[in-house]
Each structure stands twice: as structure tokens, then as C-alpha cells.
Structure 1
Amino acid sequence: MKTWAQYYVNGLTRLGIIRFSLLLASFVILLAVMIQVGVTLLLRGTVEFVDLVRSIFFGLLVTPWAAYFLTAVVDELEDSRQRLKDMVNKLQEMRDRDKALNEQLQLNISQLHQQMDETRRAEIAQERAMEELEAEVLRREAAQRELQSRGALWRSFIDNSPDLVYYRNEHGRFSGCNRAMEQLVGLSEAQLIGMLPHQIYPREVAEKVVETDRQVLEKKEAVTYEQWLTFPNGRKACFEIHKLPFYDEKGHHLGLLGFGRDITEHKAYQDQLEKASRDKTSFISTISHELRTPLNGVVGLSRILLDTELTPLQRQHLNTIHLSAVTLGNIFNDIIDLDKLDRHRLEIAPAPLDLSMFLQDIESLTRLMAEQKGLYLHFDVDGEIPERVNADGTRLRQILWNLAGNAIKFTEQGGITLRILFHPPQDDHIKVRIEVEDTGIGIPASELDNIFAMYYQLNGEKHATGSGIGLAVTRQLVLAMGGDIGVDSELGQGACFWVELDLPLLTELPMEIEESGEVPPLNILLVEDVELNITVATALLHKFGHETVAARTGAEALALFKPEAFDLLLLDIQLPDMTGFDIADELLRRYDRKQLPPMVALTANLVRDKAVYAAHGICDVIGKPMSVSNLAETLSQLFAPRKPAEPLPPPPPAGNREKVLDLTFLNEYAQMVGKPVLGQAVSLFEQMLPDYLAHLATNLTAKDQKGIVSEAHKLKSAAGAIGLKRLFDLAQQAQSPDLPAWWENIGDWIDTIKRTAPKDLALLQQWLKE
């Protein structure tokens, strides 16, 4: 039935209701006819037409109702089937969803189990980690305690190290340092942190520090160099600075580390070695070269005497003299050739020189040397010879002898022309040109630039048998005297060496003393930077009844000065920030000259021409140390004209004391201010002396000319204030870099100061006791 019903539904669906109804009607009619025919035949044995009609009519009558019924049944069945299908689908969906949910549930349960396992494992790991953390904390606490102990040890070690230790960050700012660095810059570590080099060091030092920092920070490489640094008390020290990049434990660049080792003593030792070497070389060169010149006279004169009538014994002795002199000259040449070192010391000592007598001596000796070789000499003087000049006659003679000797040595035929030309005098100076011309072998043009070099000789010349230092020494002497030297020559045409010098003329200026009377009490502005000098000058002026106000710098003096407040200005010429000339010029700019009180210079460096002071409005000069007589005379001339009193008679000679001590000044000062004040000044100087000597030594080692001059000036002023005459003179030399060969001599001067200062001070203290 299920199958037939399905067929019915399929046919109805496929054929449609009409065709399916016709087909169904035909089927029913056919079925009815067959049943009718079958039943009729069975019951009656015959089939009539009416039976067929009745069967067809029955089929037509039943078919619609059957079709409708079956269709309704089919529709219901189809609806039921469809609903059943939908339900089955829903059940399938529910089953699938249930299956998926079940699978998800199983997955969640599995994950939950896994998470529970992981949680358990994590709890176990956490428990282990906590145990390890507790152990690590204990270890770190122990390590921290050990690190703190080591840090304290290292900090103690670094702080007690004499070497500088510091570190700066990548921006060049200080991040820390040790105690030695604090002492160097005069600031604590806390103050240094965050500061830049330009905020700590002088400009020149800061530029060098920044430049080397940049090399370390940019190139990430270590740098080592030497640097002179100054302590707050003025002492200089040379440090060997070593800088290197600084990284943390992860390799991050943090900045730089700096280390500085004080090598001042090492530098001083090196300087002593170099000085000893230079002294040895200078001694050998000087003694060999300068002894050879008079030795040439011995050789020449002995040669001349050998050509005269002599007894056999005299000729034998004279031959021995001549041979010994020649041999000695060769030994000198060998010494110089063996040494082959530069000459570094040339001393120029100007003194009054009679040029007429000097030139006569030069002509006699040169003519003698020329005649020994059969050469002529033309000696010409052009211009008016001045009577006296201020020049070093020995050095000038050495210059002319060297040039004349070379001209004679390189000339075989002809002669020598020595020409001296004097220009008209100008400003108390006269320009002199000296020419030494020969008819010798001449000098190639390619060699003219080298002819004045030390140990230089013309290659291949038989005449070049000397040491080669003559022209080099001559050039150094000329330059040291402020002149110039040159040569004009052609090969085979002889040579002409020329020297130009500017020599000061000596003129005696009459000293006029105006009459002076009694000086009223004065208000005086004393401008002086050395405390000891202030003490001495103030005490001395107070004894005269004057009031003083002290200014230690030029700026302070300009701030204190008022025209109506002071009767006199005493100006130290050399001050830390400006000169006394600068102060005078500034006051003349601010005020009319008539408003200003008299200005008097205080200086140990007396300028010969007082017009130099007058040009700055300074009316007079008082030399240091300030003597009672000089001060009284100056004040009397300015404020009370009268004839000065007779000066105090000098004390009787006291052996070596008068060379060491200015006894006249000391007696005057002691009479004016009393022994206690003088004793206090001497005690103050005794306290200051070690610093003076130490600072002089470090500045010498640092080759700091400005520092040497400044310290020597302080020492000179302090020594002069208490009458230490010899120490004053030595310090005066040390503070005068314009002196000839100052650099070559300063080491000896400072050594002498260090050696004699304690002895001179002891002698002064002994004089005070007596």
C-alpha cells in the first residue's frame, strides 16, 4: 500500500490533476467493465450491452469521488510526509547539534582537564619559582652586602688615590669623581655633577678637554695626552690624562672614564736631563768655538815671528808653539764634530761701548789675519761714528771676527773689504750696517738658504774644514741683539755678508732736584696687589701722617676713586687685571686733567725715558722697594717745595749682608715704623716663601712664561718690601722675559732663587735679632 500510494502521489505530481483524473477514470471504468463482465459471465454466462453501459456509468460516477478522495488522502499523506520530513530534518539537525555540542563538551572537558593539569603544573612551578626567588633574594641580599662592602672599599681606594678619577656622561657633563679631582678644581663631587668643562676650567684647558672628550665619545676609542692644570692655590701640575669609553653590563655606552696621573716630577726630571744635555752641548760648543778665535791669533803671530830672524832655540820654541796651537785648533774642531748638537744659550750683556776704539781693534786684528794669508784689507767707515752706544762689545766683536775669518778662509787671491755704515741717529738710536766682502770662491745660489744652518758646510770644498757652527752662531748672536743678517753671492764671484743692528745711544740726562718743604697730611689711594707691599707702604705712609685706602686690582681702584676724595694716587704698574698705565688712561678719559690729583707710579721696572710715564699723565715714579728718602723726596716735590734734607748716611759695611740686604732701606724703614712691624712683615714673607718657590718651579716645568713672570713679580715685590736685595734682583731678572736669552737662563735663575732665598731670609732674621 505504501508503494502504491507512493506511485499514486508520483503520478499525480507528474501528470497533474486533470490528466491523472482522466487516467484514473479510464482505469476505474476499465476495472468496472472487467468486474461486471466477469461477474455476469460467472452468474449468467452471457454479457449484455447494458452491463457494459452500467459498468461505464458506474465508473464515471465513482471516478470523481475516488479521485477527490484519493487526492485528499494523498495531500494529507503528502503533508504528513512533509511534516515528517521536516521533523526528521529537525531531529537530524538536533542530533547534529547535539553531536556537535557533545563534541564541544568533550573538547571543553579535555581542555579543562588540560588546563587543570597546566594549572597544577604552574602551581608546582610557581612554588618552585617562589622557592628559587626566595633563595635568589637571599643571594642578592648577600651579594648586595658584599657589593656595598666592595663599593665602600673601592670608593675608599679611589678617594685615597693620588690620581684623578672622574667620569662624564655622553653629553660631556660630570657624573662623578674622586677626592683628588675635588682638590684639583676646588669643588665637591655634588657640585661637580652636571657641570660642563667650560664651567670649571680656563678656556684654553676646557677646549682641549672638550676636544679629547669628543674623540672618545664619537670614535669610541681611548685617548692619552698630557695636560697642565692649575690648583685653586695657583700651583700648576702636569697630568697624564687617559680617557676611555664607559659601558654598562649590557654594552650600552654611558660616557667616558678619565684618569689623570701627576707627572710633574717626571717632567721636571726630564727638563733637568734636557737642561744638563743642553748645558753640556752649549759648554762644548761655546768653549771650543770662542777659544778658537784667540787661538787663531796665536797661530798667526807665531807664523809671522817664524819669518823673522831668530836664534835656533827661539825658532824651535816658536815652532813648538805654532804646532801646538794648530793641533789644539784641530782638537777643538774634533770636539765640535763629535758633539754635533745645537747651541741653545746665547747671553747678551749690553754695556757702554766706545765705538771708535772698538773699530780700531777690529781693523788691527782683521788686517793681521789678512796679511798672514797675503790678502789686502780695505776698511771703510761711512757716516759719523757715535761716541758711545749701549751694546755687547764681546758679542759684536765675535760677529765681526767670524765674518772676517770666514772671508779670509775662503779667499785665496785678492782681499777683504770691511765696510761700516752709520745712518743718522733717530730717537736715541742709531742704525749700523756692517758689510764683509771678499773675492773668494763665492756661494752657489742653491746653497744661500742653508748657509746659516748649524753644522752646515759646502760639500766638496777643501776650505770647509771647520765645524760649520760659525755662521749659525753669528746669526743667533745678531738675532739676539735685535738685528738682521744676510748674504749676497755668486759662485766664483766672492761673497758679501751684511749685518744690520739698531743700537741705543748713551746720553746722560741731568738730574734736577727741586726745593721742597713740609708735606701736609694726605689722603692717598694705594693701588697694589701684593699684600706684603700694602702692609709696608701703609705703615710707612702712616708714619708720615698720611691716610691710605688700598685697592688690589685696577677695577677696584676705578670703583673707589673720586677726584675730591684723594690727594694722591700711587699706582703699581703691574696688576692682575690691568696695568697702572691703563688705570691712568681710564681716569684721564673720565675726568679733566685738572680735576685729577697727582699720579705717581710704583714699579721695579723703571723706564729710562720718563716721557713714557708723562704720556699717561703720571708725573713721577717711585722705584720698588719703596725707600723712605725716595718717598719723602717725591711727596715734598709734589706738595711742599723746599730743599730736601740730607739723606741718611749709609750703615757701615757688614760683610756679605750688604750684597744680600738693602741695609739703607731696612734702617730707614725700621726707624720709621719700628722693629715689631718690620718683624711681622718678615714673618709674613717667611710663610709665603714656600708657595712662591713651588709656584715658580711648576710654572717653569709647564713652560708657562706668563705664570713665571707673574710669580716672579710677586716674589720681587715681596722681597723688595722687606729689603732682600739679592732676591729682589734675581726675581727682577726672572720677571723680565724681554731680556736676551731669557728662556735659556730662567732655569738657572729660578734654581738660584730656590737655593739662596732661605739663606737670605735667615740672614735678614739674624740682622733683626741684632
Structure 2
Amino acid sequence: MMTAWAQKFTELLTRLGTARFSIALFSLILLVSLVGTSTTDILLHGNVTVYDLLTPLLLTLLTAPWILYFFLEMIAQLERSRRHLFQLVEQLEQLREQDKVLNQSLKDKVEQLNFEIDERKKAEFARQDAIDRLSLEVVERKKTQESLGEQTALLRSFINSSPDMIYFRNEKGIFYGCNKAVEEVTGKKEQELIGLSPFEVYPNEVAMRAIETDKVLFANNQQVTYEQWLQYPDGRKALFEMRKVPFFSASGRRLGLLGFGRDITERKKAADALEKAAREKTQFIATLSHELRTPLNGIVGLARMLKDTELTEQQRSYLNTIYVSAETLGNLFNDIIDLDKADRRRLTIVPDSQDLPAFIKDLANLAELMAQQKGLGWQFECQGELPQRVQMDATRTRQVLWNLLGNAVKFTEQGKVGLAVKVEPAPTGSTRLAFTVTDTGIGIPKAELDKIFAMYYQVESGGKKHATGTGIGLAVSRNLAEAMGGELDVQSVPGKGSSFTLTLTLPLCDKPKALPAEEPAAQRKLDILLVEDIELNVTVAKALLTKLGHQVTVAMDGQAALTACQHHLFDLVLLDIQLPDMTGFEVACALREEERFAELPIVALTANVIKDKDEYLENGMDDAISKPLSVASVSAIIDEFYGEPGAVLATRRETEEDEDKLLDTDILSQFVEAVGAPIMQQSVDLLENQMPDYLKVLESNLMAGDKKATCEMAHKIKGAAAAVGLKRIQQLANHAQHGEAPAWDENIHEWVDEIVEQWQSDLALLRQWLDERS
């Protein structure tokens, strides 16, 4: 109710305004005061005085402003409160609206929250499930990582334990990893190698080759393999087979290359040993051939000389038998030599102008003699007109035909053997000849016709060989036939005989080969030194030279030849190559060291077929002729050099110190006297510890073909050996250190082998020598 009254009162104030309301209120207050006072006075006093009216008037004047102010303030306050209330109401309404909105929003959010809660519950369940799965995966991954770690460790251990070099480099050539073998070769740890280029790891030459092969690898995306000598930090060298392969990521991007290096030094040693064995085999065969040919040449030479004398028919028959036997042996020696050459692919054919009818006649005559000696018939037939001269290797052709004829006689017990020569059509300027050797012997089974040309094969029948022999003749014959551009075929019927046909296409010759002009022997009387160690050869050669009117002095070895030259002047030296104490090359070199004898004719005598004279000329010889000597060969040599007498040989060079002396006792005695035997023993102990490493480096450098490094290490070994008086080792190392010396390449392997084989025994001898003086 008060609120309504106050509201009306406020509305009145608002409607009248403050001034009017104040006057109205003042008037109301004054009126109430006057009425009240007058009423009170009337009631109390029964009358109203002026004084009674002035008192309320004054009181009203004094109190009305304050009352008015109070009411106005109250009303204003009420108005403000009302307005504030309205504002509050409005705000409340707004708040209500907002509350509605908020409630709706809250409701929506609650619903969203409930939805999210449901989703979160689902997500929580999913998360928990994922956590469970992740935990399981973590456990599995941990197991996998542990397994992978074990596999990685195992793989790393395997890689590091591998004797092969294994490394990885990127496309810029930078090292990214390696194994222990690479560390051992380079002398750098893996962490030191990472980030380095080949030029920072290897010598320049090795690095350049590494980069070049890298380019080839990356250009073709294919593996590259090559051999490379590498040097260990201790100076040893080893031959490695380097193999590089491109390395790709899982996505196919090329990351670089994987390199592998396998030490093949031992394989190289084995190959060198095989090569050395082949050289030794060749030398053995050459020596054997020389030793076998030497008496044979004497037989042939004496037979030739006997043929020029008067003989009875029986003597001439015997002489023919000797001659045939010598020719048979000669062809066997040729087979042995050619077997070795065929094995080394070094068969050579030397065609020359030959009188074909004379060649065939000589061959037929010898074959007839062979057949007669066994009581067999002989048949010779020539079909077509033979050309007079052809270009052919008569020695090789004779060797093939002689093998065929020899086999025909060997495998024929009764009946006959024959030789047929047929001229077949051939291109212009050449002739095609078919030499057919037939027999009526045991024959060859059809199943074995393709086998008889195999090495060492012999036909068998009933588990037994038909004949003894080497089994190399036909194999060598086919090789020779093919080398001459021909063919060697066979046809045979068991029990009825065989037929071998050699077919050759030979160029024709227009003019015969000029023969040396014969001059009277008296015009060429020379003082000749014959250096030969075989009595039979000396007899034959001396008889021939004496018959030609020359004076002959004989020396049986190289030292005797040099000694003879000290005391006598000779016009010509005929020098055998194989001598007991030295080679003919060494004798010639010793003579050539004297300037006075630079023009002295020195002619080599050799039992081998001469194919190339360059070897003889390079070793101080002026020419070479084959044994046994013939009038034509000796006459040709004398015609070549004379006109004027030869030069006089100089005195022999002073001999070097005896290299069989193992210890330099003079130096050792001085050392022992100066420092005492115990100090020398310490030096010997030091050398004994160091020598194996020295020799490893020496052998590896020699095998690597590093001549400079080999000489440097030999020099070091020489100094070490000299320090303790090992004279033989010192001398060998001294030879080995001079790479520029003549025949260094030929002898270095022998010097090194002897050092390796002898140093320990020499050291033991030195210890014994020191013990005796302790």
C-alpha cells in the first residue's frame, strides 16, 4: 500500500514539476498547520488569535523547507529507486531471457556433454583397448628390438669377424662405415674413417682407381670387380680382389655402394708358384732335350761323316740303321718339346722354301729302311705332278709324317706299310697335298677313333694295350697339323689296318733358296776356340773343323774357355750354351766386358731348333747355329765374319769374393773385440725377431710387382745382415737391392727364396760362432 501511495505521490511530483509541487506542498503544510492550530485553539481556548496564526506560520516557514527537502529527497530517492527498480526489472527480464537462453544453451550443452560423455566413454574404452594393444605392441616391439639388437650385434660380430674388407661409401665417395678388416688394412678406426674420402685414406694411385671404378659402378648400376694391391701399416702389401655393388634404400633410392675386399695374396702365391713350376718344367724339358740331343747329334754327325767314306754294303746298312734310329729319337725329342709348347700355347711354325720332291724322297727312303728292318713290305705312290718348291715348315711336317710312319711300322707285325702323296686342287699360287700313311696292322676300333688323338691315350683290346709307348705322338701330331693350317684324319678297320691322312695347303715358291757358296777351305784357315763339354760332340765338331783346315782349341767348360783366352789369340769362338759351370751367355757377357773384344765373332752352338736369334744377340752373341755342325753351316758363319782376323780376347776379370762363405768373420771379430760377444748376441736376437716381418714385407712387395719397395726392403735387410756379419744374406740382399742391374727380373725370385731359406741356418751358425768366443 505504501508503495502505491508513494508511487502516486511520485507521479504527482513528476506531473507538477518540482517548483509547483514544492509550492503546493508548502501551501498544504501551511494550511494544515493553520487549520490544525486554529482547530486546536478553538478546541482549547474557544478562539483564535493573530498570535496563534503567526506561530504556525513561522513554524511552517522554518520547518517547511526542511520537510519539503526531505520529501523531495525522499521522492527523488524513491524515483531513483523506482527507476533503478525498473532497470532491475528490465535487467531481470533480460536476465530471464538470458537465463532462458542460457538454460537452453545449458540444456543443449548438457545434452552435448552427455553425448560427449558417452563418446568419451566410448573413446575411453577404445583408448583403454588401444593402450592394451599398445602395451602388447610395446612388449612385442621390445622383444623385436631385443631380437633385432641381438641380430644386429650378431651381424656386426659376423661382419667384424670376416677376414674380408667390408665398407660403405656414399655417392660422393665418403666413408660411412667399415669392419675390422678395413681398420687393419688402413690403420684407422671406423670412427676415424667415417667422413673421409679415399684420397684421405689410400695413396693417390689407389684412391684414383677407387674413384674411377666408383664412376663405372654408378654409371651402369652394376657391380665392379678388380684387383688392387694395398699396403698394411707395417709395410706389408697384399693383393685384394675388390668388389663393389650399388646400395639402395627400401624406396629404391641409391644411397651409395657396398665394397668388399678379399685377400687373394695366397692365391697369387699359388699362381706364381704354378707359373714358376711351369718355368722350371720348361727349363727341365729344355735341359733334358739338350742332354738327350747332345749324344744324338754326335751320332748323326758321325753318321754323316761316315757316309762320305768308303763302306761295304753291310757297313752302309748298319750306318743306315744308326741314322734311322737317330732320326726316330730326334722326333721323339721333338714330341717332348712340342708337348710342353702345346701345353703353354707356344707352338710356332716357321715356313721356309723347300725342295718338295727331295723332301718326300728322303722321308720315303728312311721309312723304307725302317720297314725293311722289321721285315715289312714298303709301298710308295705319288699321284699328280709335285711342284718343285713350296713354302713349308719341313721340320714340323717331317715330325708329323715320321710319327705316322713310326706308328704304322710299330703296330704292323706282318704285311706292309705305305706312303701315298696326292696333289689336290688348290687356289692359285698354292698346292694342296694329302700325305696318306697306310698299314696292315691291328687297326683301331671305331669307338676309339676319336680318342687316339688324346694325350697319353693308347688303344686297348681285351683289357691290354696293343703296344707300349708314350701316347703323345698323335696328340702332338694333330696339334702341329692344326698349327700349320692343315688337318689330320684317320680311317681304320680292326684287324685289317689303318690309314692316316695329313692334308696341307702350301704356297708355291718361284725360286729356290740360295745356298752358301762353297769356297776352298784353305782360304778360311782360322784359329777357333770350341767350347763344348760333351766328348762325342767335341769329336764330331773337331773332326769337321779340322777337315775344313782350321786349327781348333777345345775348352770343356766356361772357366776353361776364359782361361784359354788369357793366353792365346782366337779368330772365332764357337760357344755351347749349356756348360757345367756357367751358361754360354755368361761367358759371352764376360768377354764383351772387354772393349778390345767388342768385334770378336762369338757364335752360339745349340742343340735346339733355332726359331729366333734375338735371345742370342741380346746376350752378346753374334750368331747361332744348330748342332751337329755341318759344312754348310760352318762355311756360312765364316763367310759372314771373315775377311779379316778377329780381335784378341782380354784377360779374364778378377773373380769376386767367394760367396759360399756364410759369415764375415773379419768384421765379426772386430765387433766382438769392440763390444763383446754378449752385445753381439743381443743384436742377433733383435735381428731374429725383426727378420720375419722384414721378409713378409719383402715377399709381399715382390709379389705386388713394386720394384722400388722391394729394393728398399732388400736394402734394409742388407744393412741388418751386415750389422751382424751374415755375409751370404748380405750379398743376396745386395743383389736384390739393385733393381737396375742386368737380369734382376730373372734372378730376384731366386735371391729372395734363398734369403728366406738360408737366413735361419746362417743365424744358427753365427750363434755357434759367437758361443765359441764367449
Q: TM-score, normalised by structure 1?
A: 0.47
Q: TM-score, normalised by structure 2?
A: 0.47
